[in-house]
Structure 1
Amino acid sequence: MPPAPAIAPVVAAGAFACRPQPALAAGALRLRPWTPDDAPVLVRAFADPDIAFWNLEEPLTLARARELVAGFAARWAQERGAHWLVTETATGAVLGRVGLRCVSLAEGHAEAAYWTLPESRGRGAAHRGLAAVAGWALAEVGLGRVDLRHSARNPASCRVAGRAGFTYEGTHRHALRHADGWHDMHIHSLIAPDLDEWAFAGRRGGTSPRPSDQTRTGG
């Protein structure tokens, strides 16, 4: 029997590493790469009990935060991840973060993650930032799929996913252990064909513009 034909990678190696990580514009928001000076933002974020609990982290020292920020840059260079701070364009104020982890350019998929600082919740930063990053990954990088996984006990993340245009696909039972025990995980996805659906903006009552409309790169 002849060998099976090789499957070409979805995205060729070098799509990340050959260029600096871009900033993304999303309406009144600007998503920018982390810098070493942003380590105190991580310290402040993980002092919030909700962020620490859902992200499986203890409150951070400044030294540990600096290690994590350095890791964000390393994962971009290794083409394994991409991480942004979500900021107000007008003021530069930090509202939260959105990132892509478990990136596989060859297989064309990544997993999104986010958090919002306590004082910035309820302002749409999470779903608009998530839509911007996912739209960039699908429309500009050329990935085929972006996943979002969160605890079934965190309904706010379901709302964020829906407003960002993600589709709920199902539940992985007993899938991740938190400090209080095992949690079922909800699975949401955004795939490349979703960017062309006319109903994208109105899915589940959301008001986000389509990622392909709202996302552009910038300095």
Structure 2
Amino acid sequence: MRARAGKGTAPPGSLPTHTRIGRTSRATSGDRSVPPAPVAALRPWRLADAASLQTAFTVSGDLAAQVGAIELSTVTRCESFITDNLAPATVSRQNFAISVDGVAVGNVGVGSMEHRHGTGWVYYWVSAEARGRGLATLALASIADWAFTEQGLHRLELGHRTNNPASCRVATTAGFAAEGVERQKLKYGTERFDVETHARLRTDAPPPVRLLPTVTF
């Protein structure tokens, strides 16, 4: 494995800028030291993450739709899912655990990588317990940089349901421009959903966020 240091710049006032999430580690309050801020990174999935994946599946009611009909309510099933789906890296797909202080709290990946045309499809999720801290935005911007620089891709696409404004904000803040709506593309249960497609080109201006350190295979 090898690590890529986080990079990027962020102007004052912009959304999440640091690989440390929350308060700085050197701050103090009276005589009490403030605990170090959590450190976030992208890294490969491992079997030891099974319990964290089970927790994410348990506390995140919307996660089942993201992984389809796969049952992740037990550690054993999560181990199988990691072994079969999340850990393997192929020429067309790679996933990264979104790790905070070593604990996997989400996933970000690039699939359908087509190297002739330089395209790929990006996807991500963050456990309900870890939301609201900008992790999805940082992870998405970071994997886009990895796909452009390490995989030589030129165009990345993603899609979100039109009734999911939070995912839309993640995409736009990470530099993915909205390109249009595909009507009734997804079906969950008996209901169909319109999907808004976003895309980012390697030649687009990068978003003003500091990228997460990324450990690669």
TM bracket (short chain): 0.7 to 0.9
**1:57 CA drift (Å):** 4.0
Q: Which range moves more in the overlay, 38-47 or 125-134?
A: 38-47
Partner of 1:73: 87
Residue 44 of structure 2 aligns with which residue? 33
TM-score with structure 2 setting the length: 0.75
Q: Which runs of 5+ in 1 are unaligned?
A: 1-19, 202-206
Deviations 1:72-112 (A, max 9, x none): 333x1x31211111123xx3233322111222223311111
- Secondary structure of the corresponding residue to residue 49 of structure 1: coil
RCO higher in structure (CA 8 A, sep ≥6): 2
Q: Between the two proteins, what is the percent identity of the paired residues?
A: 33
Q: Give the Cα separation in 2 of the matches to 1:159 and 1:165.
A: 10
* Alignment match, 1:148: 158
1:57–1:43 Cα change, 3 Å: farther
Moved more, 139-148 or 51-60: 51-60
Tell me: CA distance 1:66–1:217, structure 2 relative to 1, closer, same or farther (3 Å): closer
Q: For 1:121 and 1:64, locate their aligned partners in 2 and report how far apart those are by CA, in whole Å.
A: 24
Provide closer, same or farther for how the CA distance between residues 66 and 95 of structure 1 changes in structure 2, counting only shifts above 3 A: closer
Q: Which residue of 2 aligns with 1:56?
A: 68
3-state SS of 2:79 partner: helix
Q: How far, CA to CA, are the matches of 2:103 and 2:87 in structure 1?
A: 21
Q: Is the 8 A contact 1:24 1:132 kept in 2?
A: no
CA contact under 8 A between 1:25 and 1:217: conserved in structure 2? yes
Say if 1:157 and 1:183 are closer, same or farther in 2 by CA, change over 3 A: same
What is the CA RMSD across the aligned residues, in angstroms? Answer: 2.2
Task: Classify 1:97/1:64 alpha carbon distance in 2 versus 1 (closer, same or farther; 3 Å).
Answer: same
Any idea what SS the aligned residue of 2:62 has? helix
TM-score (norm 1): 0.74
Which has the larger share of helix?
1
What is the CA distance between 1:52 and its match in structure 2?
1.6
1:165 CA drift (Å): 0.8
**CA distance in structure 2 between the partners assigned to 1:73 and 1:119 by the alignment:** 23
- For 2:203, what is the secondary structure of its paired residue? helix
Structure 2: runs of 5 or more not aligned: 7-17, 20-39
Structure 1 139/93 Cα, relative in aligned 2: closer, same or farther at 3 Å?
same
The one-letter amino acid paired with 1:187 is T
Counterpart of 1:136 in structure 2 is: 146
Deviations 1:35-84 (A, max 9, x none): 1221222222222212223443454133332222112333x1x3121111
Q: Are 2:181 and 1:171 aligned?
A: yes
